[in-house]
């Protein structure tokens, strides 16, 4: 009587037939695919946080704003001045400027762009700017042509936070709220000094 010999199935390490090895391999492949998708998602999230924007504001700045109770409450309550003061203390404007500075190297245009951005979102109008009927910001007319250049540098250093003109005299406002004439404060911090202070940052 002829007998047909059957080759035994290869056994896995656990002694079970080899068909289970295929299942284990499939599980490993699925795990690798899941891991790859997870890494890609995390990488995309990290990229978006570092380089993405929401309504023109860097995502990192938005997250910083949302984590601050005072800023968040001021925004949703419509307290523009309180919101501006809080964002200023948080250094939000400088962070947004640092984000856009590689793209907008002219400091005066960068300042106008950032103020326009913040105005569109918060409704706060910087003291050095005026807005037309279309909602576009422009620097206020200044009699001294050197003042704008000096003011932008002084603002970047942190010496002044605003300015105003009264009876043809230009005044600047310090972070503490003190008011000085432009002539007085610029004699203490001339352009060369401001540029040196910026380079040392």
DSSP, collapsed to helix, strand or coil, labels residue 29 as: helix
How far apart are the C-alpha atoms of 58 and 72, rounded to whole Å?
Answer: 16
pTM score of the predicted model: 0.48
Instruction: Tell me the β-bridge partners of 63.
Output: none
pLDDT tens digits, residue range 41-82? 444 545 444 556 777 788 888 888 888 888 888 888 888 878
The CA angle 123-126-130, to the nearest 5 degrees, is 90
Taking residues 110-124, report their average pLDDT: 85
pLDDT tens digits, residue range 130-184? 888 888 888 776 556 678 889 888 988 888 888 877 767 788 888 888 889 988 9
pLDDT at position 93: 83
């Amino acid at each position: 009587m002829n007998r047909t010999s059957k080759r035994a199935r290869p056994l896995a390490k656990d002694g079970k037939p080899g068909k289970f090895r295929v299942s284990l391999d499939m599980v490993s492949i699925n795990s690798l695919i899941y891991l790859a998708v997870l890494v890609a998602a995390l990488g995309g999230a990290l990229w978006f946080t570092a380089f993405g924007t929401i309504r023109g504001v860097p995502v990192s700045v938005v997250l910083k704003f949302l984590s601050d109770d005072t800023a968040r409450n001021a925004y949703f309550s419509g307290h523009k001045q309180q919101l501006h003061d809080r964002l200023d203390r948080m250094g939000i404007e400088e962070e947004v400027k640092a984000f856009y500075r590689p793209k907008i190297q002219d400091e005066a245009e960068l300042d106008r762009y950032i103020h326009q951005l913040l105005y569109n979102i918060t409704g706060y109008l910087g003291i050095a700017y005026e807005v037309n009927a279309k909602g576009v910001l422009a620097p206020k007319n200044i009699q001294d042509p050197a003042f704008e250049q000096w003011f932008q540098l002084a603002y970047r250093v942190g010496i002044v936070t605003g300015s105003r003109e009264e009876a043809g005299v230009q005044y600047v406002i310090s972070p503490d709220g003190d008011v000085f004439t432009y002539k007085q404060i610029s004699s203490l911090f001339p352009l060369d000094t401001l540029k040196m202070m910026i380079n040392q940052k």
